[in-house]
Amino acid sequence: MDKIIVHGGKRLTGEVTVSGSKNAALPILIASLLTAEPCRYQRVPNLADIHTTLKLLGGLGVKIDKQGWARGTSELTVQAEMVGKLEASYDLVKTMRASFLVLGPLTARFGQARVSTPGGCAIGARPVNLHLKGLEAMGARIEHSHGYIEATAVRLHGAKIYLDLPSVGATENLMMAATLADGTTVIENAAKEPEIEDLASALNKMGGRVRRIEAGSFVIASAITGGDVLIKDARAEHLDAFLIKLQEAGVVLSCDPGGIRVQRNGKIKSVDVTTLPYPGFATDLQAQMMVLMSVADGVSVITETIFENRFMHAQELDRMGAQIQLEGNRAVVRGARELSGAPVMATDLRASVSLILAGLVASGSTEVSRVYHLDRGYEHIEEKLSNLGAQIERVKA
Ligand code: EPZ
């Protein structure tokens, strides 16, 4: 298994360009199941989760042209003309929960689908009841057997659906199904994340623009190292709650359509943070914020309201000298810690990047293992950080 080694203490400066967003790209690629026409995608990040999605689509019989990727243009063409199989296996869904998103499009277009239930996940239980409730409201018959959901429908019809929680995945699954259902579907209490807006615009005319969480991680990288970094192609309007918190913490930001410049001159102050559905503070930036708060002046309370077990990075950060006390869904972070490098283990995608951020300011070297979590969602992160002056390397297994 690969490891990443970060030698801390370098100030980051320069420019970095963020890649296309994983969480926007996954549903948009899956949306190609809705049509027999070829769909051409640009700026598709070359990541493990995208490879899993292409494997899933390929297994269903979808044609995939990766020549653009081979030329380094991040372009992909996907055509779901002949779909020979209507099933997503447990192997794929357990590797990547977003595979469950094929349920809506396949049922809507072909009248049936068999998709493994995802099961639990390290960060929480993550049920799919809202996806199923919505499809049932649209006329699908749902059966659960042998760990699989089987959905059938002669033809889906539009419906008025109320989501008890604004679930990102359920909103995406139902939006895709609704495009081929007869009549109009209204999803009340739908998620409003930028990924949803992007899927909507892709469903209207395929195209992707969101670059949210990766940009947020670079914002912290610059702030934590006292650096001066221009994050090109980052869209400040997607990061409002996060950027406001950073400004409260004393980070200097200048935002324009070209990107976000992040500078830090003085000390970082502790601020309290509560994760919420968009436009609130994103749960996917909570681990990164916890690292910043570990070196900030004061005490910060971080409350996680989206996932019940998304604090696994706290114990690893404590091994590097952070002082974090967990009380249910709250983490009390005592700041002003001098972090020191240590061998640590990534437990999920955003936890893994938080350990790298901690490594950037820790004394000595930090060895992050289980980096396959990182590879699911960050494209060329070592190169991007090295170009900004970080001392970081990957050790191949
Ligand atoms: C998406 O997951 C993202 N994944 C996650 O990013 C992100 O953390 C999450 O949205 C919240 O922003 C992708 O886009 C691929 P939800 P999703 O359905 O769709 C409960 C990352 O690091 N719920 O909005 O699975 C659920 O248990 C990943 O990139 C139900 O109760 O999230 C959770 O508590 C991690 N029933 C809450 O809703 C349901 O049917 C929000 O989950 C569905 C969800």
Q: What is the pLDDT of residues 310-358, one digit of tens each?
A: 999 999 999 999 999 999 999 999 998 899 999 999 999 999 999 999 9
Distance 120 CA to ligand 1 centre (A): 12
Give the atom of ligand 1 at the shortest distance from the alpha carbon of 278.
12
Tokens of 116: 């493994």
Residue 206 in this model has a pLDDT that exceeds 70: no
pLDDT for residue 124: 82
Q: What is the DSSP pairing of strand 63-65 with strand 76-79?
A: antiparallel
- Residue 288: CB atoms within 10 Å: 28
DSSP code of residue 339: -
Average pLDDT over residues 229-244: 94
pLDDT for residue 123: 83
Average pLDDT over residues 351-369: 97
Nearest C-alpha to atom 41 of ligand 1 is from which residue?
167
pLDDT for residue 42: 87
pLDDT for residue 210: 56
Q: At a CB cut-off of 8 Å and minimum separation 6, what does 315 contact?
A: none
- Structure confidence at residue 395 as a pLDDT band (50, 70, 90): very high
pLDDT digits (tens, 9 = 90+) for 250-259: 999 999 989 9
Helix axes 213-224, 286-295, angle to 10 degrees: 10
pTM over 0.85: yes
pLDDT for residue 208: 41
- Structure confidence at residue 72 as a pLDDT band (50, 70, 90): confident
Q: What is the percent of the chain with per-residue pLDDT over 90, rounded to a whole number? A: 87
pLDDT digits (tens, 9 = 90+) for 3-23: 999 999 999 999 999 998 999
Point out the catalytic residue in the list 36, 121, 125, 244.
121
Average pLDDT over residues 84-98: 95
Cβ of residue 185 lying under 6 Å from some atom of ligand 1: no
Residue 122 in this model has a pLDDT that exceeds 90: no
Rounded distance between C-alpha atoms, residue 9 and residue 15, angstroms: 19
Average pLDDT over residues 140-149: 97
Mutate to test the pocket of ligand 1, among 95, 129, 130, 167 (most ligand atoms within 8 A of CB): 167
- Structure confidence at residue 71 as a pLDDT band (50, 70, 90): confident
Residue 53 in this model has a pLDDT that exceeds 60: yes
pLDDT for residue 388: 98
Q: At a CB cut-off of 8 Å and minimum separation 6, what does 204 contact?
A: none
Give the atom of ligand 1 at the shortest distance from the alpha carbon of 26.
15
Q: At a CB cut-off of 8 Å and minimum separation 6, what does 43 contact?
A: 19, 20, 74, 208
Contact 291, 220 (CB under 8 A): yes
255 is catalytic: no
Domains and CATH numbers, the chain: 2-19+211-396 (3.65.10.10), 22-205 (3.65.10.10)
Residue 180 in this model has a pLDDT that exceeds 50: yes
CA dihedral 208, 209, 211, 212 (to 10 degrees): -110
Distance 276 CA to ligand 1 centre (A): 11
- Structure confidence at residue 207 as a pLDDT band (50, 70, 90): very low
Contact 243, 250 (CB under 8 A): no
